[in-house]
Amino acid sequence: MPINTERKKQFRTIGHKLNPIVTIAGNGLSDGVIAELNRALDDHELIKVKLAIAERDERKELVAELLGLPNVELIQEIGKVVLLYRHNKKANPKLSNLHR
């Protein structure tokens, strides 16, 4: 279910002060990176991901792969940083970036 524009604006405001949790480099989406992304999204719901890839086209392809993960939505993409969201019904308030 896509989130509305107002909610995305709220998420961008929250995401502004977040630091990237996961960095994806030249090896792309390996099994370990996917596992870490899923863990981070389950724990924090809203995360920043740094794409340490120089080519813009390769970054666009990688973002498309990220959006292929279950229930992941792109909130914002600026340069080499993307802000991703996945809703967690049982989010831990101490870990979630949305419930603090």
Domains of the chain, by residue range, sit at: 5-85
Instruction: State residue 45 phi and psi, 5-degree precision.
Output: 70, -50
Torsion angle, alpha carbons of 71, 100, 40, 6, to 10: 30
Task: Give the pLDDT mean for 30-34.
Answer: 93
Task: Give the pLDDT mean for 72-85.
Answer: 96
Task: Give the pLDDT mean for 79-91.
Answer: 93
Pick the CATH number of 5-85 from 3.90.1150.10, 3.30.110.60, 3.40.50.920, 1.20.1250.20: 3.30.110.60
Instruction: State residue 77 phi and psi, 5-degree precision.
Output: -135, 115
Q: Give the length of the chain.
A: 100
Q: Is the model's pLDDT at 1 over the cut of 70?
A: no
